[in-house]
Structure 1
Amino acid sequence: MRSTLIRSLVLLLLLTACGGGDDADVAAGTDIDTAAATSAPATSEPAPAPTTAADATTPVATDEPEPTDEPEPTEPTGATVVLDGDGLPAGDYTVVVEAAGQQVTSTVRFDGGPVTVSLDATAAEDVSAVSVNASADGPALLSGTVTDGTGTIAPALPVDLSGASGQYILATPTNGSDSDERSGIWYVLIPRAPGLVLPTLPAEWVYEGWVTIDGVHVTTGRFADPATADDFDGFSGDQGGPPLPGEDFLHSPPPGLTFPVDLAGMTTFVTLEPAVDPDPAPSGLTILSGAIPADAIDHTVHDMASTVDALPTYTAQVS
């Protein structure tokens, strides 16, 4: 009986031990899976933070400059200078415009009417002066200032010519006496003395004598001092003339003319010319002029009149 009881207790203990082992395994399996789930490294990207209304309206920073209310600077579109007047002979002239301390030079054709000079990238309000030169290298024939877009462009005289006067005779001393005497003109008096009263010029300028023969302006020569000979004797004879300005028209005439020629009824005049002058024609700055009488007597003194007050002027309009 006792041994049976002991066997029953042992059997009960064994059954109890086996049931406890199953429960432990379940509990242990649960703990391992949980540990594995919590200790394994994350393999996915973190979720983005939620977007708010403030984030949606915040501008993205860029390298572009912030816009301003100031207008962009603009380049001048260019000024137009209109010169209106008369008196300069037809030809090409150099127009120099002073604008904002800079000189703008243009070659422009004058032909008896208004002249337009277009200036690129020059503002009209910057134009302060205008001059007209015979060439880029010579002095101004006409010049003037511009105020509020308007100015007068007047002769740029290098000396005071208010007392200018002149006299001349018809004679041909370079081919002897009593031969074609009305085919030469000399700005002299009798007895021999200077016939022109003119101030001595600076180096940039000269005087020049002329006779208009059958519509052609023919030079008698250029000179700086009216008490000395001029620089030309290309039409004269081979005998010496007086050491004063003048010329005999005896040979080698310009095209369309014939020498000797009777100067009676022609016109003589004296101009102010740039010393550096590519144009052989008169400048238009005529300071003395005289109509040779149709019945002129040779070796008789004839008068010239001052034309300084009638020198050409132009108006300048800038827009």
Structure 2
Amino acid sequence: MKKLILSLTLCAVLFTACKEDEGSAMGVLSLDISGLGDLGDDYVYEGWIIVDGSPVSTGVFSVNDAGVLDQTRFEVDEAILASATTFVLSIEPEMDSDPAPSATKILGGDFSGDAATVMISHTAALGTSFTEVGGSYILKTPTTTTDSDDLSGVWFLDPATGTPALINLPDLTSKTGWVYEGWAVIDGQPVSTGRFNMDTGADQSSAFSGPESGPGFPGEDFITNAPSGLTFPTDLTDGGVIVLSIEPEPDNSLNPFELKPLRGAVPSGLAPGTLQAMENIAASTYASGTVSR
């Protein structure tokens, strides 16, 4: 009798386990994404599927400096995966106690059948492609009292009209998790001109400027506090490059992020105060790809 009871109990346990396994069948979510950058040691990418309006994590991964994902296939509950309408990719702290996605969402895409094309212009991500953005800059050092160092400052303003020289730049004030940042590449080393949310008003930094007040526009004079390996004042017409990037906030890197709408090499012989246009390189610098289930 004891053997019979034991056998019946074992069968019941096995049957229950089988039923549980049947109820939690797993599907596979595959990522084929290019253009993502290395986030360093403190941050990771995390995928999310939107099911009935709520985010469900699909797992985290890292990207090396060659842009290769360390994982591209993720097991997800099959029924939940089949019900997903949207995929979103966010940037998260590596040690993250918050179960919800961060505000820094870089890619999004809606499923059509078993695949979703993901891009930054999706409404769940940055909401625009930035391909319509235009921009110019001038070389000038308004924070010093001399004209002899005018080739050592860059400002995103039009001196003829006294207006911003960044055109069609979306306002990131409402996009928590992202911010614009200007850069001057000096002797191959990127140096920040400051962060800002929109093209009007000063940026958040004057780390290298002189003692005088600067104009109420994004920009920087490279006069003091030169980073290691550089000497200020400098001459930006000697191989300098001006860049506008879109940066995650917070950010653990001293270099520009992969999202760069505008870039322009400083022409040799560019006169101080001359408005110089930049090239829109948005289409060639942004991550995109396909997510399949």
Q: Indicate the TM-score class for this superposition, using the shorter chain for normalisation.
A: 0.7 to 0.9
Q: Deviations over 1:27-53 (max 9, x none)?
A: xxxxxxxxxxxxxxxxxxxxxxxxxxx
Measured after TM superposition, the shift of residue 114 of structure 1 is 2.8
Is it true that 1:111 corresponds to 2:65 in the alignment? yes
Aligned to 1:268: 242
* CA RMSD in angstroms, aligned pairs only: 3.4
Distance 1:119 1:261, change over 3 A: same
Distance 2:242 2:201 in 1: 19
Aligned to 1:3: none
Q: 2:105 aligns with which of 140, 149, 152?
A: 140
Measured after TM superposition, the shift of residue 236 of structure 1 is 0.6
Q: How high is the TM-score relative to the length of structure 2? A: 0.74
Partner amino acid, structure 2, of 1:244: F
Distance 1:107 1:254, change over 3 A: farther
Distance 1:110 1:95 in 2: 15
Distance 2:50 2:27 in 1: 11
Distance 1:295 1:313 in 2: 35
Measured after TM superposition, the shift of residue 106 of structure 1 is 1.8
Aligned to 1:86: 35
Aligned to 1:232: 205
Partner amino acid, structure 2, of 1:112: A
Contact 1:229 1:244 in 2 (8 A): yes
Measured after TM superposition, the shift of residue 120 of structure 1 is 7.0
Measured after TM superposition, the shift of residue 263 of structure 1 is 0.9
Where do residues 101-250 of structure 1 align in structure 2 (5 Å cutoff)? 102-117=56-71, 122-123=76-77, 126=81, 128=84, 129-136=86-93, 137-145=102-110, 150-155=115-120, 156-159=125-128, 161-191=130-160, 192-197=162-167, 198-203=169-174, 204=176, 205-250=178-223
Which segments of 5 or more consecutive residues in structure 2 lack a partner in the other structure?
94-101
Distance 2:15 2:44 in 1: 47
Count residues with an aligned counterpart.
262
Q: How high is the TM-score relative to the length of structure 1? A: 0.69
Distance 1:200 1:302, change over 3 A: same
Measured after TM superposition, the shift of residue 188 of structure 1 is 0.8
Partner amino acid, structure 1, of 2:158: L
Higher helix content, 1 or 2 = 1
The structure with more radius of gyration: 1
Distance 1:194 1:291 in 2: 20
Distance 1:124 1:179, change over 3 A: farther
Measured after TM superposition, the shift of residue 234 of structure 1 is 0.4
Distance 2:49 2:119 in 1: 16
Which segments of 5 or more consecutive residues in structure 1 lack a partner in the other structure?
1-59
SS of 1:309's partner is: helix
Distance 1:124 1:290 in 2: 48
Distance 1:233 1:88 in 2: 28
Aligned to 1:49: none
Distance 1:278 1:149, change over 3 A: farther
